[in-house]
Amino acid sequence: MYATRPEARPATVEVLVDGVAVLVPAGASAAAAVLLAGSAAIRETAVSGAPRLPYCMMGVCFDCLAEVDGAANVQACMVPVAPGMRIARQLGARDALMPEAGR
Amino acid sequence: MSFDLAIIGAGPAGMAAAVEARALGLAVLVVDEQPAPGGQVFRAVEAAHGDAVLGTEYSAGLGLVESFRRSGATYRPGTTLWHLDPDSGEMSLTPGGPAVARRVLLATGAQERPVPIPGWTLPGVMGMGAAQIMLKTAGAVPSGRVVLAGQGPLLWLLAAQLQRAEAPPSLILETTPKGRLAAAFRAGGWFSGRGLLLKGLGLLRETRGLPVQRAVTGLRAEGEGRVQRVAWDGGSAECDTLLLHEGVVPATHIPLALGLDHAWDAAQQCWRPVVDALGASSHARVAVAGDGAGIGGWQAAVASGQLAALDAAHRLGRLTLDGLAQRAAPLRRMRAEALALRPFLDALYAPVAAPVADQVLVCRCEEVTAGQVRAAARLGAQGPNQAKTFLRSGMGACQGRMCGATVARIIAETRGVAPETVAPLRPRAPYKPLTVGQLAGL
């Protein structure tokens, strides 16, 4: 859980974290927005489904992989927020693509 | 696009190299993954220099960033180098098109040393560097009970910064074993490095009101679904955020992928690329400067970046040998001064090879435990490259950045051999995962 310090950096950019609007400072990353939103997880692992939140925030650990504006597997800590950005939790391993099933 | 010098990384070394190389008339490209120059130490300094909690040393980075912005170097922020052919100087970059350079300077900095303790994958456990990036990029602080666990200069800097931001840690668990201070004074460097030492003492004085447990062993993070408690041998405490730190190590991912010669740094228990006094590596086109060539801090990085730029200019016929010698001498002195405290710091904060219990996940991506690595070693895995094929450790999204060193250490311990005899994980291009779309767009 993280809190902004409006006296230092006012939260002026509205993004959607798992569909919920959150105001974050300009210059924050999508991963920071997830931490500021108080989300329980940014992804669930592909192997065991364990919840994860960002660990390194500098592009090393890949624990912040999330869906950003519809693109999966984005290192959320490397993407600065933009107004209206949609950040969604990435859940486990992706299902196999099966066109006959309409997916 | 064709350049004389391509610099990978816009931290202190990369920025200083760009400024120096431009002043010598070189056509310079700077590629950096971050949206703004500064590296991690001066991350977001253009936006955050007015935030007093970060301290005066941080805001001092603004001058370097401004010089870099004015230097005339072609700057590609938010850009990842995913392949470099060192023989031809061709670079594959995303987003955007490729580039080619006559000389390439890797200034990719450092990463935090992974701290594989039980529960370190729980949400709410992070690196101290990560918390500092939250402060620099978003002005944000962890809320609730925050415990700092580990050792190193960053621990005390972050403790002071959080305290200034009125979000002081509820507890500091320092892992430095007893007797280290005496060893550090014996190692030397404290007198010639007294400027830096005094800064450190200032941080200790500033944070002296915070509760500290010293010589902590047996750290573990506990909780259901997120960290709720930190425990250690002889104690435990509730916490909402646990921040770990055991120092930083060179980011060797690209140098190792290029097959540059590396040497084992016994003091800091890590690999570092072999470079000469001007940063030249074992490959004729490639240099390495800054923390990526060995941890020395930002001031040493600035000097080494400038030295590498001089060397590039000399190699490209833009600076005579005499000119090189003349300009390099004061920079080498500056670097030596900046590194003066290293023997003291290396002895004080020598990495603690805490035993990693069998159930601990060492590969966070593929969720491979220390016990599995030990079993693979007993079955004949000689090092992390073999463990990768046995277990997938190092095959996940981080490509071994987080597990490579730990896997190598556990295998060395299991085989009963010295760590420097175990070859490090050999990364491959792409240096970061790519989408099929990115590849198809070439």
* Mean pLDDT, residues B268-289: 98
CA A96/CA B293 separation, integer angstroms = 43
Residues in chain B within 8 Å Cβ distance of A5: 139-141, 165
**Residue A99 domain-assigned (yes or no):** no
B-interface mutation test, from A53, A85, A97, most B Cβ less than 10 A away = A53
Q: How far apart are CA A41 and CA A49, in angstroms?
A: 11
Q: In what order do the strands lie in the sheet containing A11-17?
A: A20-25, A11-17, A86-88, A65-68, A71-75
**C-alpha torsion sign, points B160, B223, B397, B265:** positive
How far is B170 from B25, CA to CA, in rounded Å?
A: 53
Average of per-residue pLDDT across A65-76: 95
pLDDT per position as a tens digit, B289-347: 999 999 999 999 999 999 999 999 999 999 999 999 999 999 999 999 999 999 999 99
pLDDT beyond 80 at A102? no
Residue range B140-194, pLDDT digits in tens = 999 999 999 999 999 999 999 999 999 999 999 999 999 999 999 999 999 999 9
Check A2 against B143: CB less than 8 A apart: yes
A96 occurs within a structural domain: no
Residue numbers in A near B401 (CB within 8 A): 60-62
Closest CA to B230 of B114, B113, B141, B150: B150
Residues A17-25 have a mean pLDDT of: 97
Is the residue at A98 inside a domain?
Answer: no
Give the pLDDT confidence score for residue B440 in this predicted structure: 81
Whether A1 and B142 lie within 8 Å, measured CB to CB: yes
Q: Are strands B286-288 and B99-106 parallel, antiparallel or unpaired?
A: parallel
Cα–Cα dist A18/B205, whole Å: 43
Q: Is the ipTM of this complex over 0.85?
A: yes
- On whether residue A6 sits in a domain, the answer given is no
List of chain B residues whose C-beta atoms are within 8 Å of the C-beta of residue A45 = 367
Tokens describing residue B334: 């500056």
Q: Is the pLDDT of residue A103 over 90?
A: no
Nearest CA in chain B to A32: B134
Q: Is B55 on the interface with A (CB under 8 A)?
A: no
The predicted model gives B38-57 an average pLDDT of: 96
The mean pLDDT of B269-283, rounded to a whole number, is 98
Contacts of B202 (CB under 8 A, 6+ apart): none
Q: Cα–Cα distances in Å, from A102 out to A72, A96, B9, B135, B441?
A: 19, 12, 44, 45, 27
Residue of B nearest to A57 (CA): B130
Contact yes or no for B419/B264 (Cβ under 8 A)? yes
B218 to B174, B178, B202: CA distances (angstroms): 12, 15, 29
Domain contains A73: yes
Domain of A24, CATH number, reads 3.10.20.740
**Domain span at residue A26?**
12-91
Percent of chain B whose predicted confidence (pLDDT) is above 70: 100
Contact A64, A42 (CB under 8 A): yes
The domain tally of chain A equals 1
pLDDT at A100: 67
| A102 assigned to some structural domain | no
> Taken in order A64, A69, A73, A75, is the CA torsion positive or negative?
negative
**Separation between Cα atoms, residue B25 and residue B126, nearest integer Å:** 43
SS3 B76: strand
Hey, what amino acid is at B287? A
Three-class SS state of A67: strand
Q: A80 pLDDT band (50/70/90 cuts)?
A: very high
Contact A89, A33 (CB under 8 A): no
- pLDDT above 80 for A101: no
Structure confidence at residue A27 as a pLDDT band (50, 70, 90)? very high
- The predicted-structure confidence for A54-64, as pLDDT tens digits, reads as follows 999 999 999 99
Kindly state the percentage of chain B with pLDDT values over 90.
Answer: 97
Sign of the torsion formed by the C-alpha atoms of B124, B127, B131 and B136: negative
Range B76-85 average pLDDT = 98
CA distances from B116 to A53, B219, B353, B406 (A): 16, 10, 11, 8
pLDDT, tens digit (0-9, with 9 covering 90-100), for B5-31: 999 999 999 999 999 999 999 999 999
Are A62 and B398 an interchain contact pair (Cβ–Cβ within 8 Å)? yes
Quote the CA–CA distance of B33 and B11 in Å, as a whole number. Answer: 11
Per-residue model confidence (pLDDT) at position B344: 97
- Is A4 inside any structural domain? no
Residue B117 confidence class, pLDDT cut points 50, 70, 90: very high
B175: three-class secondary structure by DSSP: coil
Q: Do B129 and A1 touch (CB under 8 A)?
A: no
* Res B439: pLDDT: 84
Query: Rounded distance, CA B14 to CA B405, Å?
Result: 25
Asked, for residue A7, whether it belongs to a domain, the answer is no
Largest distance between two CA atoms of chain B: 65
Q: How many CA atoms lie within 13 A of A99 on its CB side?
A: 0
Q: For residue range B89-100, what is the model confidence (pLDDT) as tens digits?
A: 999 999 999 999
Residues B380-391 have a mean pLDDT of 97
Q: Is B53 on the interface with A (CB under 8 A)?
A: yes
Select from B50, B139, B433 the Cβ nearest to the Cβ of A4. Answer: B139
At B353 the pLDDT is: 84
